[in-house]
Structure 1
Amino acid sequence: MTRYIFITGGVVSSLGKGIAAASLGAILESRGLAVTLLKLDPYINVDPGTMNPLQHGEVFVTEDGAETDLDLGHYERFVQTRMRRENNFTAGQIYESVLRKERRGAYLGKTVQVIPHITHEIQTFIERGVQAAKALPDIAIVEIGGTVGDIESLPFLEAARQMRLRLGQRQACFVHLTLVPYLPASSELKTKPTQHSVQKLREIGISPHALLCRADRDIPDEERAKISLFANVPQDAVISVRDVDNIYTIPHMLHAQGLDDLLCAELDLTPPPADLSVWTRMVDALEHPRRRAVIGLVGKYVDSAESYQSLVEALKHASIHTLTQVEIEYIDSEAIEQNGLSALDALDAILVPGGFGARGVEGKIAAIQYAREAKIPYLGICLGMQLAVIEFARHVVGLAHANSTEFDPATPYPVVALITEWCDRAGAVEKRSAHSNLGGTMRLGAQRAPVKAGTRAARMYGASVNERHRHRFEVNGRFVPQLEAHGMIISAATPKDQLPEMVELTETLHPWFIGVQFHPEFASTPRAGHPLFNRFVEAALQHQRARQLPAPAPLKMCHG
């Protein structure tokens, strides 16, 4: 029978429950246990797909096409189990499911209430997530979003309490993550917020079996003893979780303090000792790079690193596998529109990520033109590929005012558009419409496509590519012959509709210029990295070396 570890949070949000849960999963997996993780989000939105990334962070896409919380990305980077749509659900999904049942008469006319109907549905969804795994896991780590004391979190916490009561004490346990702030004015760590947070948790019938105490420094034994006394938790279960620069050190931190031994004992499990050697090697590679590269990330959500969380981590994974210190320069594309291209001068490579909406698009196109003309390595992801096609169409093919119908429905050259705006299933040309159904052409999840032999893409991916998508607009197949005639290679396309999946420039035009319609960052892990990001960083290093070479001496003319 699967055991459950519920992760809760207190004091403030964004303390890192997701990374703590993922790190714990990595330790338990290193002990031979099969692990899955679930994220329970108390907000009413059905999923994060339409939420502003500046508020909520990136939307992580699973292989089966679910738009989920960014914490599922952390889960996939720390454990080898692939997440599915069942691994993340929201209060909106729970209430929607209960209301559908009520409309069908499933409750036989009873009054539908939070307890027992909503809490029972939460438990059903948790068990559904466990059963969705390819093999029944030994442990399911269930992260409950929000903080203790939030009104919206109460049904989820109550469901977890009921679940442990129903399953039995040795089948479930609780880990609570709190903040222990340091006050410079008094030069001391304050344990009172943690005490009150645990007290709030105990009021609803949950006593944590371990406390993860976040602080900007190690928590001394004296403070740990004080927390233990007031929270009614053994002192060895008060775990100090100090701030770190490298999240991949956290499995070592938690294991060194015996968290996995404590929880295994609580759940009556006796797995083999942990083998964290793979994490040791990864941390060593990150902390001892042999070289340095600066990559410019040109986007419009640069005020929030969480908006590009998977992308940042994928570049970090490339750091591990190329032994390179990759420094990311976040460049606001709107600032380029206002101030010019000077921010791009010292970069070793340029990356334009995905995004939606017209804001900052012309700044991104200017950055792409700069990368193409200055022969700087370029990687465009999703929108970054579409804008690379637009830039090439405008300035190389000669299609003035080429654009995407997302930004200019009246463009004379819709090189990027909704499929419904330019072709039907048979490929017949149709009249474009500014009122096409935006949801009708959304592509989500992993899809496979053949790769053209002899291309740079083939050297990275082999005969086919299988990556995850999240987009509505496509490169317009009607313009592909013109693009190819001027040196843009469609190196991968969907087998049925021939929608471009990867583009690259011939090596005579540019040493390393690639655009991909999919999101390779979702598949990158620290264990293996990702070939596309590894080659991108290597191209940045090669460009850096080429810039540093002295200019050849002028030829001396011989006069006879």
Structure 2
Amino acid sequence: MARYIFITGGVVSSLGKGLASAALGAALQARGYKVRLRKLDPYLNVDPGTMSPYQHGECYVTDDGAETDLDLGHYERFTGRPANKQDNITTGRIYQEIIAKERRGDYLGGTVQVIPHVTDAIKNFILDGNDDYDFVLCEIGGTVGDIEGLPFFEAIRQLGNELPRGQAVYIHLTLLPYIPSAGEMKTKPTQHSVKELRSIGIQPDILLIRCDRMIPETERRKLSLFCNVREEAVIPAYDAKSIYEVPLAYHKEGLDTQVLEAFGITGAPAPDFKRWETIANGIENPEGEVTIAVVGKYTVLKDAYKSLIEALVHGGLANNVKVNLEWVESEVFEESDPGPVLENVNGILVPGGFGERGAEGKIAAAEYARKHKIPYFGICFGMQMAVIEAARNLAGIQGANSTEFGPTDEPVVGLMTEWKRGDASEKRSSDSDLGGTMRLGAYPARLSAGSRIAQIYGTEEISERHRHRYEVNIDYRERLEAAGLKFAGTSPDGVLPETVEIPEHPWFIGVQYHPELKSRPFEPHPLFASFIAAARDNSRLV
């Protein structure tokens, strides 16, 4: 039977519950256990698919097409287990399902209430489908005391009583701030956070304390005393140079050991952290470095590109180099020459995005990379802008544009209205709801024999995750290929362009999908490994 670990947060948000959950999952995996990680988000959105990246950071997409919290990316990268739509739930989705049941009359005339109907739905979600796992880690979004999180806290409180004794453990992640003027660390915020948690019936078994310096033994004892937690279960969570050092750091501080002791597990297998040590050593001791310009639309919030950042790190690991990122807001290139910004970088990456703002700046970046033979990687929107640039400047289609920006006489990029998912046909229109209506999840593609991208993958059949509602218009293929832009990959039926490349360029590839979502530190995505290798070779020429 699976054991359950509930991870909650207090004091402030953004302390890193998702990373802590992923790191603990990795540490338990290192001991040979099978783990599953799940995220419970209290917001009323059905999913983060319609949220601005400024609001919620990256929207992570699973193979089965779920738009989820970015923490699921951490879960996948740290454990290697592919997440699915049953690993992330929101208040909005729970209420949507409950109200649908009420409208059908499933409650037989009864009054529908938060307790028991909402809390039961949360518990059913937590318990479903866990027979094959030793540990299920459930992260509760937000911080204790948030009004919208109360049903989730109540649900996990109830589970603590309903599960067999010793089958549930509670970990509370808090902040231990240092006050420079006083010259000391303050435990009071954590005391108040735990008091709030205990007031709703949850006693934490383990405290995970975020801090930027060593915790004095006196403060550790104080936390133990006032929070009613064993002193050895007060675990420091110090700042790390790399997120991939966190599993090692947590193990060193005894987190996984304390979890096992809280469950009463003795004689657990010794952990094997060899691959984590290899990753940490590779990050700490690179043999060189490259600089990549990321020309994006949401660069003020790096979480908007979380998987992208990590995939570039993985590409660096594959080549034993450090990857330095130069963040460039694409709107800058709509008013100025990109040369002074891009002339000294080793590679240019244009990521996904939505809307017209900054689009011309991304087109300018693609043009600069093409003309100056700088390795270029266009992802989703970045591929579309590269195609528009080639259409205008190579094929002479002066009015080339995307219908996403308004009516155009040359719709080189247009709204997708129909596509195949397996044997089923999916249809959309401009009047469709925004939420959940894009081409989402894993789709197969066929790569042209002899193309550069087929050589990179080492196969002509691939499957990658998508998230888009606009597509390059296949009707322009002949003119664009005559001008030098090769359509190197399409959907199996040949209707939807999936990849483009310029064979005469050192490295110029655009993909309609999001390869960053499938990159792992132990298995860097081949496109990112190849892109960084090209950037490394370019650095030798500069």
Shorter-chain TM-score category? Answer: over 0.9
* Match of residue 299 from structure 2: 302
In 1, Cα distance between the equivalents of 2:258 and 2:168? Answer: 13
Match of 1:534 among 529, 532, 540: 529
The amino acid of 2:362's aligned partner reads K
1:513 aligns with 2:508: yes
1:90 aligns with 2:90: yes
What SS class does the counterpart of residue 394 from structure 2 fall into?
Answer: helix
* Match of residue 319 from structure 1: 316
> 8 Å contact 1:177–1:214 — kept in the other structure?
yes
Q: Which runs of 5+ in 1 are unaligned?
A: 426-432, 548-560
> 8 Å contact 1:123–1:159 — kept in the other structure?
yes
> 8 Å contact 1:300–1:360 — kept in the other structure?
yes
> 8 Å contact 1:419–1:441 — kept in the other structure?
no
> 1:497 offset after TM fit, Å?
4.5
Q: Deviations over 1:160-181 (max 9, x none)?
A: 0101100123111100000001
1:149 aligns with 2:158: no
The amino acid of 2:66's aligned partner reads A
Task: Say which one has the larger Rg.
Answer: 1
TM alignment of 1:56-135, pairs within 5 A:
56-128=56-128, 130-131=129-130
Q: Deviations over 1:157-208 (max 9, x none)?
A: 0000101100123111100000001111111111100010001101111000
In 2, Cα distance between the equivalents of 1:442 and 1:253? Answer: 40
Match of 2:485 among 488, 492, 506: 488
1:340 aligns with 2:337: yes
* Match of residue 211 from structure 1: 207
TM alignment of 1:134-283, pairs within 5 A:
136-270=132-266, 271-283=268-280
Provide TM-score, normalisation by structure 1: 0.93
Mean Cα deviation higher: 205-214 or 244-253: 244-253
What SS class does the counterpart of residue 226 from structure 1 fall into?
Answer: helix
In 2, Cα distance between the equivalents of 1:436 and 1:192? Answer: 53
The amino acid of 1:468's aligned partner reads R
> 1:339 offset after TM fit, Å?
3.0
> 8 Å contact 1:438–1:472 — kept in the other structure?
no
> 1:434 offset after TM fit, Å?
9.6
* Match of residue 423 from structure 2: none
* Match of residue 286 from structure 1: 283
> 8 Å contact 1:418–1:441 — kept in the other structure?
no
The amino acid of 1:69's aligned partner reads D
The amino acid of 2:315's aligned partner reads A
What SS class does the counterpart of residue 412 from structure 2 fall into?
Answer: strand
* Match of residue 472 from structure 1: 469
Change (3 A) 1:299 1:231: same
In 1, Cα distance between the equivalents of 2:359 and 2:451? Answer: 28
Q: Which runs of 5+ in 2 are unaligned?
A: 421-427
In 2, Cα distance between the equivalents of 1:285 and 1:467? Answer: 27
> 8 Å contact 1:505–1:513 — kept in the other structure?
yes
In 2, Cα distance between the equivalents of 1:24 and 1:444? Answer: 29
> 8 Å contact 2:60–2:67 — kept in the other structure?
yes
> 1:438 offset after TM fit, Å?
7.0
Change (3 A) 1:207 1:437: closer
Provide TM-score, normalisation by structure 2: 0.96
In 2, Cα distance between the equivalents of 1:381 and 1:75? Answer: 23
What SS class does the counterpart of residue 37 from structure 1 fall into?
Answer: strand
Identity %: 53
* Match of residue 405 from structure 1: 403
Match of 1:451 among 447, 452, 467: 447
Mean Cα deviation higher: 497-506 or 348-357: 497-506
The amino acid of 1:504's aligned partner reads E
What SS class does the counterpart of residue 406 from structure 1 fall into?
Answer: helix
What SS class does the counterpart of residue 27 from structure 2 fall into?
Answer: helix
What SS class does the counterpart of residue 298 from structure 2 fall into?
Answer: coil
* Match of residue 425 from structure 2: none
* Match of residue 26 from structure 2: 26
> 1:442 offset after TM fit, Å?
2.0
What SS class does the counterpart of residue 405 from structure 2 fall into?
Answer: coil
> 8 Å contact 2:452–2:503 — kept in the other structure?
no
In 2, Cα distance between the equivalents of 1:424 and 1:299? Answer: 28
In 1, Cα distance between the equivalents of 2:147 and 2:164? Answer: 27
> 1:333 offset after TM fit, Å?
0.5
> 1:419 offset after TM fit, Å?
3.2
Mean Cα deviation higher: 460-469 or 297-306: 460-469
In 2, Cα distance between the equivalents of 1:424 and 1:85? Answer: 21
What SS class does the counterpart of residue 229 from structure 1 fall into?
Answer: helix
Number of matched pairs: 531
In 1, Cα distance between the equivalents of 2:532 and 2:433? Answer: 35
Mean Cα deviation higher: 95-104 or 519-528: 95-104
The amino acid of 2:168's aligned partner reads A
> 8 Å contact 1:33–1:139 — kept in the other structure?
yes
> 8 Å contact 1:57–1:306 — kept in the other structure?
yes
In 1, Cα distance between the equivalents of 2:364 and 2:447? Answer: 29
The amino acid of 2:254's aligned partner reads G
Aligned Cα RMSD in Å? 1.6
> 8 Å contact 2:80–2:520 — kept in the other structure?
no
> 8 Å contact 1:441–1:473 — kept in the other structure?
no
What SS class does the counterpart of residue 18 from structure 1 fall into?
Answer: helix
Change (3 A) 1:424 1:314: closer
In 2, Cα distance between the equivalents of 1:435 and 1:84? Answer: 28
> 1:437 offset after TM fit, Å?
4.1
